[in-house]
Amino acid sequence: MRSERSYVAGLYTRLDAERTRVKGQYNAALRGNGASPMERDVEVRASAKALRRLAVADDGLCFGRLDTLSGDHSYIGRIGLFDEENDHEPLLLDWRAPASRAFYVATAATPENMRRRRQFHTRGRQVIDFTDEVLGRPGGGERGDAALLAAVNAPRGDGMRDIVATIQAEQDRIIRLDHPGVLVIEGGPGTGKTVVALHRVAYLLYTQRERMERHGALVVGPNPAFLNHISRVLPSLGESDVVFMTTGDLVPGLHVTAEDTPEAARLKGSLKILDVLAAAVADRQRLPAQPLPIPLADVTVRIDAETAEWARHEARDSGLPHNEARAVFTEIVTYVLTERAIARIGRGWLTRADRAGWEELRSDLVKELAGDEKFTAALDELWPILTPETLLAGLYASPERLRAAGGDPALARADGDAWTVSDVPLLDELVDLLGSDKSADRTAERERAAAAQHAADVLDSLVGRQDSMDDEDHLFATDLLYADDLAERFVEQDTRDLVERATADRDWTYRHVVVDEAQELSEMDWRVLMRRCPGRSFTVVGDLAQRRSVAGATSWDTMLEPYVPGRWVYRSLSVNYRTPAEIMDIAAALLAEFAPGVRPPESVRACGVQPWSRRVTEDELPAAIEEFVRDEAGREGTSVVIGPPEVPGAVAPSETKGLEFDAVLVVEPERILADGPRGAAELYVALTRATQRLGVLHQGPLPQALTGLVETPAPAKAGQ
């Protein structure tokens, strides 16, 4: 024990020295030392990233040791540390390194040329104890589960914890899987599929850092609470180039404020909505019912239906998005109107041979049309500049436009821009259908150029002041700082970190994408995500039995094969590390009713506490909930009340997907079960959130599948 404590203490000494070295690099980079602003920024970012990676290692820096048959040994930890004075000899292996793999997969039956696995139990920087497992010994059985059971039995904290010290063999095989396409990880509640996917991202960032770190990775989850729950895992593994989003965040700046009906969500999630969107755009490319007069200085010209139809045909045939094709439409209309005007104005005073006169007249007319308000208004009526938001909001709010586009009446709503999650992929699609407004782009470029010129003028002014200073004049440091800051603002570089840049940029593409609760995503959701990752490198996590959305996946093949034919593989997790056997037995009975072909995961442990139920009246329900909350407040760990929206203080089952709590109280399961076609899946989710204790309160008869619960009487009132 003494030697192990001494070795781990030496690792911390090495860690502190490395931190000091990198901190020095960081401070030097901040000072600049003659480097250009861009070079300084690159060095500051690199050293800051290195500091963040070193900062995660204080807790559990080294958690294990492997001894080989030949007598060599290696220490395994969160990061790799090397002896700089001894030919870069590894002092600590990163858990992701190939040499660390045996720590997770070696067993008594397949020892991987290892003799012993040692697992450290630490508190802070101190080794408290360790357990040994001798490998390759006949009858030795599988690896010891002391560390694993200690981890799964520990009270839950505020967020998901990494499992770097307790990764199991079936999990490790998925984490290290060498597959360039889409990996689907399916598993029931508590199988660790989410945390396995996150560790896989950390593994890919380690093994493919040069390829991945410029674009980073994206993790998509079902709701903000879930993302907050998992957000600490990757930083705890030293990885920060990861963006966390819900599907509602995929269009920057959009705020989701409403919820669709199931029918509207189904319609919006289907690829058939693409035809509606295309028709809605085409519907805004109009022909005038009557000729539109454009009075010019010397003549009045008219945009008639024939002219507009020709211009529309040419604009559509250009293949450009709607807003960019307006230039083609405008060019054709301008050509027709100027030819008509020239024919009328030039008659009698221009000869056919006077080519210069004709061209001058044409040029004057083109300029006059370009600056004419009525001409611009006519163009806006026939081929308006559109944004995704204005087009879609107008479509929803207008029964006439919706009907013209072939949309289902179920899509109509009075408040067109009350955005829902299902609107996000439609708005994203419209970005490509509409394209950018080139005139707005040119205006922004002119403003940027003007600001840059202002910065240059300030610098020139200050330099001039410095050249002309006499003994009475002073050039203050603040002047130079202001000028320096102003100039650097327009240097062609972006000083935001990767997460900030990616979050703000709709066109940002990622090297890898993790999709959790993927069974809930619609066909249109997948279109958005495939745009975000042209390399089609995905880790997809889900459980079809827990699908709630009517637009979600009924099979992985249906969703993925159109995008990655033959490039997706399937892996399953079968061991439940979260839900104790007593609770899983109850959930499995429900699963057998609504998904009889799905095998429930096998719990790795029992907790010794039987889940209970209690029937209450409507008047007794609030007090019973308060009793649960009060009792759990006195315990270590976390708890939650899950129930229908009408229950005060209860969280909807869908809001707890992917989360875990020490204790769960499910209220009125019969009402959850009756809530639409996916009510059984909702109840299944609710029942499988607990790691220790589960209680159920019900007013009506208990659903048949839950009759295995132990019925408990209400506590006796005072005086009885």
List residues forming the annotated binding site for ATP.
187-194
Distant-in-sequence contacts of 91-100, Cβ < 8 A, 24+ apart: 91/10, 91/11, 91/14, 92/11, 92/61, 92/62, 94/206, 95/164, 95/167, 96/202, 96/203, 96/206, 96/207, 99/74, 100/66, 100/74, 100/76
Cα angle 310-385-245, degrees, rounded to a multiple of 5: 130
Give one word for 667, left, alpha or beta, with left for phi > 0 and alpha for psi -120 to 50. beta
Which contiguous run of DSSP H or E holds residue 692?
strand 690-698
506/486 Cα distance (integer angstroms): 27
Q: Choose among 216, 192, 174: nearest CA to 543.
A: 192
Q: Choose among 467, 528, 676, 684: nearest CA to 594.
A: 684
DSSP annotation of 421: G
461/448 Cα distance (integer angstroms): 20
> Between β-strands 217-221 and 242-246, what pairing exists: parallel, antiparallel or unpaired?
parallel
**Residues within the annotated binding site?**
187-194
389/431 Cα distance (integer angstroms): 9
633/229 Cα distance (integer angstroms): 20
Contact assessment for residue 182 and residue 569, using Cβ atoms and an 8 Å cutoff: yes
Q: Choose among 478, 532, 519: nearest CA to 681.
A: 519
Contact assessment for residue 620 and residue 720, using Cβ atoms and an 8 Å cutoff: no
Cα angle 497-503-506, degrees, rounded to a multiple of 5: 125
Tokens of 551: 């637009």
